[in-house]
Amino acid sequence: MKKAFIALGTNIEPRNDYLKQAIQLLDDQENITIIQKSSVYETAPVGYTEQADFLNLVLEVETSLPPHDLLDVCQAIENKLGRKRVIRFGPRTIDLDILEYNNENIQTDRLTVPHPRIHERAFVLVPLDEISPGLKLPTWEKPVNELLRAIPKKDREDVKRWNQKGLDYE
Ligand SMILES: Nc1ncnc2c1ncn2[C@@H]1O[C@H](COP(=O)(O)OP(=O)(O)OP(=O)(O)O)[C@@H](O)[C@H]1O
Ligand SMILES: Nc1nc2c(c(=O)[nH]1)N=C(CO)CN2
């Protein structure tokens, strides 16, 4: 079994349903087991800012799938939930990014792991820090909690706990 971390993001309503469905579809896979789930965070859009706020969370999974097969599963879920690629970094029903896979460095046409923008994204680092603060990604010298501390305070403040409003996935 290999360990992997997957980031989920959505900013088209019903955001909560898209997250739930994506988690369920991952959980339905025989060869994927979800072992940790962060809280849900509501986050200001990064990159292309003229769009609605996102809900983001991070999952830790165990899987017997090789990395590109895991990507296939993630992309099949994106397609099933109606994701259309229109604007780079733009609005989406659901986005699944493989952040980390078995502590490996992978660089192919389809897959770069660890995900190259983890260290600059509070919407990834905050939930990742919640479930795995000591995780050390192969491309960075510092563990996740230190990468998070290196991010501007303003960016961290754009990431707010959301399940406190009473919605959870248990
Ligand atoms: N670690 C990864 N996880 C998911 N997709 C990846 C990864 N590395 C490379 N890709 C490739 O990135 C392509 C574009 O992905 P996508 O459209 O989701 O990008 P994006 O979500 O807009 O941007 P970002 O990758 O910055 O979140 C996918 O077709 C996929 O093959
Ligand atoms: N807050 C937030 N901003 C984003 C997100 C995301 O998931 N959350 N995903 C993007 C796609 O690359 C671009 N910008």
Q: Answer whether residue 28 shows pLDDT above 70.
A: yes
17 as an active site residue: the answer is no
Ligand 1 pocket, 111 CB below 6 A?
A: yes
Q: What is the DSSP letter of 142?
A: S
Amino acid at 62: E
**Which pLDDT score is estimated for 48?**
86
- Cα 105 to its chain centre, rounded Å, is 18
Residues 72 and 76: their CA atoms lie apart, in Å, by: 6
pLDDT in tens, 52-102: 999 999 999 999 999 999 999 999 999 999 877 666 777 789 999 999 999
Helix (H, G, I), strand (E, B) or coil at 89: coil
Integer Cα distance of 54 and 49 in angstroms: 11
Mutation probe of ligand 1 site: the residue of 111, 113, 123 with most atoms within 8 A of C-beta: 111
pLDDT, tens digit, 9 for 90 and up, residues 35-60: 999 999 999 999 988 899 999 999 99
- The helix/strand/coil state of 22 is helix
- Quote the tokens at residue 42: 């509501």
- Each residue's pLDDT tens digit, 115-167: 999 999 999 999 999 999 999 999 888 999 999 999 999 999 999 999 654 45
How close is the Cα of 48 to the center of ligand 2, in Å?
8
- Identify the structural domains of the chain with CATH numbers, from first to last: 2-165 (3.30.70.560)
- Sequence-separated (6 or more) residues with CB below 8 Å from residue 149: none
Q: What is the ipTM of this complex?
A: 0.96
Distance CA 128, CA 57 (A): 8
Which ligand neighbours the alpha carbon of 116 most closely?
A: 1
| Bridge partners, 136 (sequence order) | 143
Q: What share of the chain is helix, strand, coil (3-state, %, to 5)?
A: 30, 25, 40
